């Protein structure tokens, strides 16, 4: 895993915006590329003048949407029946796919939006959305808004972490852990908002 993290990190460094776009497209599809090793270093290099912050965000958001759209149409075309047999080769967790499917079916657009803000399920939510034939415009809107927020937050926190500890650029694994630790309050906030949404929905029933 360390070698993969290093490879993804170096691709971002050497290919700039194109590397960010490709890796974020992979991250938002069915390939397990952690965005925490893509956006933070790119945002840090933007702060150093090698890239622009807006360019990094645009590439990241465009890549996220492209990867999500690919997964959406894949699932819409062939369904999710291939997951139990072939998902393990792509490191897809069948239990997470089932959870994401139930979540998307029950909460629709809001379910897709919140899922885009949580690691572990954000790259999976496009599959059940496609399988359930969610309206493309609604899927696209919730995906773009969620992805934009995620990419911006990750860029800001990435700059903060790497600005204070630039030595982490030499260790993608440690950088990944440091960024996740710094973003823990954000994850808790999203979880709290999701819980509030669930309570409000049940009160209306």
pTM of the full structure? 0.82
What pLDDT sits at residue 90? 57
Q: Please tell me the total count of domains within the chain.
A: 1
Q: Give 21-72 pLDDT, tens digit per residue.
A: 999 998 888 776 888 888 988 988 888 888 899 999 999 999 999 999 998 9
Print the domain residue range for 69.
2-204
Check if the beta carbon of residue 67 is closer than 8 Å to that of residue 27.
Answer: yes
Quote the tokens at residue 43. 């945002």
Cβ within 8 Å of residue 151, ≥6 positions away = 24, 35, 39, 57, 60, 61, 64
């Amino acid at each position: 895993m360390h070698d993969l993290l290093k490879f993804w990190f170096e691709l971002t460094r050497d290919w700039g915006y194109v590397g960010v776009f490709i890796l974020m497209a992979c991250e938002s599809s069915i390939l397990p590329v952690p965005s925490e090793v893509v956006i933070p270093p790119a945002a840090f290099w933007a702060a150093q003048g090698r890239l622009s912050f807006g360019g990094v965000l645009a590439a990241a958001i465009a890549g996220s949407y492209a990867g999500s759209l690919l997964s959406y149409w894949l699932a819409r075309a062939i369904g999710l029946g291939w997951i139990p047999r072939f998902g393990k080769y792509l490191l897809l967790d069948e239990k997470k796919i089932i959870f994401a499917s139930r979540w998307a079916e029950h909460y629709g657009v809001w379910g897709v939006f919140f899922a885009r803000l949580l690691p572990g399920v954000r790259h999976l939510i496009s599959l059940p959305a496609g399988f359930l034939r969610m309206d493309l415009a609604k899927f696209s809107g919730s995906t773009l808004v969620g992805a934009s927020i995620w990419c911006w937050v990750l860029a800001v926190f990435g700059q903060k972490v790497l600005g204070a500890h630039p030595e982490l650029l030499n260790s993608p694994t440690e950088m990944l852990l440091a960024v996740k630790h710094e973003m823990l309050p954000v994850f808790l906030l999203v979880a709290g908002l999701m819980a509030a949404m669930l309570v409000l929905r049940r009160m209306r029933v």
